[in-house]
Structure 1
Amino acid sequence: MAPTDSGVCADTDLARAQIKDATPVLPSGRAVALTLTALAMGGFAIGVTEFAAMSVLPDFARGLGVDEPTAGHAISAYAAGVVVGAPLLAVLGARVPRWLLLIVLMGLFAIGNGLSALSPTFEWMLVFRFLSGLPHGAYFGVAALVAASIVPREIRTRAVSTILMGLTIATVIGVPVATLLSQTWGWRSTFVIVSVLAVLTVVLVAAFAPRDAARPGAGALRELAALKNRQVWLTLGVSAIGFGGMFAVYAYLASTLREVTGVGPEVAAWVFAVFGVGMFTGNLLGAWAGDRFGFKAAAGLLIWSAIALALYPAASHSLWTLFPVVLAIGAGGGLGSILQTRLMDVAGEAQTLAAALNHSAFNTANALGPLLAGMAVASGLGWGATGWVAVGLTLGGLVIWALAAWDGRRTQP
C-alpha cells in the first residue's frame, strides 16, 4: 500500500501545483489602479469627441455653412468609422501585444481629431470624422480585455466599467467645458482638446499598461470565428438597436433646448452636465448589477430607458421637468459594460474581435438614432419626435434581448 499511497500523494501534489500554475498572477492594487486610470483617460478622450461633437453641432453647422439636420451627418460619419474600424483593426491587430495596440490606436485617434479641427469644408469634416472613428471601437474593446485580465473574475464588469467611466466623466466635465470653450474659441477648439487628451493617453498607457506578449495562436481566422456565434450577434443587436434611443435624443438635445425649452447655450451646458451625471451613476450601478445579475441587468436598464425616453417630449417644454428626465436617460448608459462582459462570456477564443464589435454596435446606434430622429424632425413632426423615435429603438433592443435570453436557455447543454 505504501507505493500506492505515495503515488496518490504525488498525484495530488501535482494537481495542486497545476491548479496553482493555472491561476493567473494578478498585479498589485496600485498597478491595477494606474493601469485602469491610463485606460480610462482614453475613454475620457473618446467621450469628449463623441458627445461634444453633438453638443457643438449648431456651432459647426453655422461655421461650415450647413443646416443642423445635415450637420448631424458628421455624427453619423464618426459612428460609421467606428463600425468599420472596430472589426478591421481588431483583426489586423490580433497578433500585436495589447499594450502596443492601444498606443497605436490612440495615436491614430489623435491624428484624426487634429485633422477634424482643420476641416476647411463640411465634406472634409465628414472624411476626418470617419477617420477619427476608425480606432474608437478597437481601443475600447482591447482596453476592456486588459482591464478584465488584471482583476478577479467576480469584479470584471466593474473593471470594464472603469474605462467607460472615463467616457461618462467626459459627459459630466469634458462636454460642458468643450461646449463653453467652443463659444469662446470656436468649435475647432473642441477637436484640438481631444487630440491633446489622446496624446496624454498614449503616454500613460506606455508608462503603466502591463507588457503582455502576443497571445499564442492569435490571428485573423481565430478572431473571425466570433462571427459564427449567434449569441455574439444577438448581444450586438441589443447594443445596436437599444442604444439608438439614447443617441436619438442626445444628438438633438442642444437644438431642442433652444427651440422648445427656450434656453440659451449657457444653460444648455448644465443640461449636458446633468446627462453626464446620469451616465456616471448609471455606469456604476449598471456594473454592479452586471456582476450581480448578469445579462438580466440589461433588460432592467432597457425598460428604465424606455420609460425615461417616453417622458422626454412632454418634459422638454420646461427646464425643471427636463432636468430629472435627462438624468434618467443618461443613467441608461450603464448598459454598455453589461453587454461588454456578456460578449466576453459568449465569444470563446475570439475575444478581441467580439469586444471591439460591441463598439461597432454601439456606434451603429450612434448613427441610426440621429439619422432616424433627424428624419422625423425634417418631416415636420417637431423636436419632440426625437423622444418617440428613441422609445421605439429602445423597445426594439428589449425584443432582441428577449430573443438572446431565450436562445441562450434553449442552447444550453
Structure 2
Amino acid sequence: MPLALLALAIGAFGIGTTEFVIMGLLPEVAADFGVSVPTAGYLASGYALGVLIGSPVFAILGARMSRKRMLMALMGLFILGNLVSAVAPVFGVMLAGRVIASLAHGAFFGIGSIVAAGLVAPHRKAAAISLMFTGLTLSNVIGVPFGTLLGQQTSWRWTFAAVAALGVLGLLGVAALVPHDDPRRRPEPTASGQDRSGQGETGRGGIRGELAAFRNTQVLLAMGMTVLGFGGVFAAITYIAPMMTDGAGYASSSVTWLLALFGAGMVAGNLVGGRFADRALMPMLCTALTALALTLGLFTFTAYDKIAAAVTLALIGAFGFATVPPLQKRVLDQTAQAPTLASAVNIGAFNLGNALAAWLGGLVLHAGLPVTAPNWVGALLALSALALAVTSALLERRGTAGGGPAGGGPAGGGRARGAAGRVVSGHAPAEVRRPVGAAD
C-alpha cells in the first residue's frame, strides 16, 4: 500500500469524526449554548449544506492547482473550522465553524479519490479508493465513540480541539507523503469532455471540460445512485436512537456502541466493495443495492429484538458502504479526462442523500407512523437506486450511452478512437490510459 494512501485515510478519519460526532454531543452543545436540541440539530444540517456548496466550488478553484497543494489547503480549512467550533462563544459562531469545516469535505474526498486511484495500477483503483474511505469508516468505529465519550466526560469543546489535531496530522501526512503533480501536464478536455491531445499527457484541464462531464448520461445516473442508495442508509440511521430505545428496548447509553457496530459494518463493506468493484463493478453495485433494500425492509421487523436489531444494523452499514467505492470509481471511469469536479460533486451527492433521507424519514414519523417507518423509506430509496443501476448497465450494454456528449465519452461504454487512429469499444487502449492524478 502506498504510504500516501495512509495520509489520505488519516484526513478522511478526521473529517468523518467531525461530521458524525455531533450526533452524540447534541444534548451537551444545546445545554451549553442554551438552545433546544432541535435547534442544535442545525449543526448537522448546516454541515451537510456546507458539503454541498463546498464540493463544486473548491473543485473548480482547484482545477488548475496541484492536487497535493489543494489537499493541503483543504485540510487547513478543516482545521480552522474545528478550532472555531472549539472556542465558539455563541451558537452562531459554532454553526459558522461547522460550515467552514464542511466546505473542505467534498473536495477532499473528491480530489483524494483521484489521487488514490492514480497511485496504483488501473485494475486496483477501486481498492485504493476504498482504502482512503477506510479512514471515514473507521471514524465511526473509533473516532465517533471516543469523541462522544471525551465530550461527555470533559467538554464537547475538547472533542473539536482533538479533531483539529487530527487535521494537523492529516495535513502533515499529505505534505510528506502525497506525490507532487503538475496541473499543466493533465489532459486538456474539449467541450465534449474528450482529450485534445489523445495521449493524456499534456494540456490543462479547464472548467469547461470539467462541466462537460455532466453531459454524460452515465455520470448523472451514477450520481443518482449515490443520492438514493446512500440516502437509503441514512433514512434508517438518522433515527436509530429512537428505534433502538423505543423499539428494541436498549438503554440510551447503548446507542454509542450500537453506532460503533454500524461503523464496523461500514469498514467491512467498504473493503469488500473496493475489492470486488475492480473485478466486476456493476454486478457488485447491483448486488449491494439489492441486499441493502432487503435488509432495510427486514429492519422494520428486527428492530424490535435486541440481538436481531444489532445484527441488522451492522449489515446495513456493510451493504450501504459496499456501494461507495464502486460508485466513486464509476464516476472517475466516466470522466477520466476531467474528473475533479464530478468526483467532488459525487461526494456532495452522498450528503444530499443524507439530508433527503433524514427529511423523508421525519415526514413519516410526523405523520404518526411507527418508529420503524423510516426503514421502509430507506428500502424504497435503495430500490430506486437499484433501478438506476440496472438502467445504467442496460444502456452500457446496448451502447446507447456512448458516442456523444449526451451519452458520455469513451469510458461511458461507447466507442472511442485510440491514439493510433483505430476504433476500440468501451475503454481506450492500455497504452494511452495514464492513471489520473499519478505523480510526474
Q: How large is the RMSD of aligned CA atoms in angstroms?
A: 2.0
**1:312 counterpart (299, 308, 324):** 299
| Structure 1 residue matching 2:181: 3-state secondary structure | coil
**1:209 counterpart (160, 178, 183):** 178
**Residue 274 of structure 1: aligned partner:** 261
Change (3 A) 1:62 1:246: farther
Mean CA deviation greater in 122-131 or 325-334:
122-131
Distance in 2, Cα, partners of 1:227 & 1:204: 33
Distance in 2, Cα, partners of 1:219 & 1:377: 46
Distance in 2, Cα, partners of 1:155 & 1:131: 34
Greater helix share, structure number? 1
TM-score normalized with structure 1 length:
0.87
CA contact (8 A) 1:344 1:355 kept: yes
Pair 1:135 & 2:104 matched: yes
CA contact (8 A) 1:243 1:365 kept: yes
Give aligned-pair identity as a percent: 41
Mean CA deviation greater in 333-342 or 262-271:
262-271
CA contact (8 A) 1:274 1:326 kept: yes
Distance in 2, Cα, partners of 1:63 & 1:391: 37
**Residue 15 of structure 1: aligned partner:** none
Greater relative contact order (Cα 8 A, min sep 6): structure 1 or 2?
Answer: 1
**Residue 243 of structure 1: aligned partner:** 230
**1:389 counterpart (354, 373, 377):** 377
Change (3 A) 1:298 1:72: farther
Pair 1:79 & 2:48 matched: yes
Distance in 2, Cα, partners of 1:181 & 1:261: 27
Distance in 1, Cα, partners of 2:370 & 2:90: 28
**Residue 254 of structure 1: aligned partner:** 241
Change (3 A) 1:295 1:57: farther
**2:78 counterpart (109, 132, 157):** 109
Distance in 1, Cα, partners of 2:90 & 2:368: 28
Change (3 A) 1:379 1:117: farther
Extract unaligned runs of 5+ from structure 1.
1-28
Distance in 1, Cα, partners of 2:342 & 2:39: 32
**Residue 377 of structure 1: aligned partner:** 365
Mean CA deviation greater in 390-399 or 333-342:
390-399
Question: C-alpha displacement at 1:61, in angstroms?
Answer: 4.4
CA contact (8 A) 1:72 1:370 kept: no
**2:205 counterpart (218, 221, 234):** 218
Change (3 A) 1:299 1:55: farther
Larger Rg: 1
Question: C-alpha displacement at 1:134, in angstroms?
Answer: 1.1
Distance in 2, Cα, partners of 1:330 & 1:120: 36
Change (3 A) 1:120 1:386: farther
Counterparts in 2 of 1:7-406, with a 5 A limit?
32=2, 34-65=3-34, 67-214=36-183, 215=186, 216-331=203-318, 332-406=320-394
Change (3 A) 1:184 1:262: farther
Change (3 A) 1:345 1:311: same
The count of residues paired between Structure 1 and Structure 2 equals 382
Mean CA deviation greater in 242-251 or 376-385:
376-385
| Structure 1 residue matching 2:279: 3-state secondary structure | helix
| Structure 2 residue matching 1:243: 3-state secondary structure | helix
Question: C-alpha displacement at 1:68, in angstroms?
Answer: 4.7
TM-score normalized with structure 2 length:
0.82
Extract unaligned runs of 5+ from structure 2.
187-202, 402-413, 416-440
CA contact (8 A) 1:180 1:266 kept: no
CA contact (8 A) 1:54 1:252 kept: no
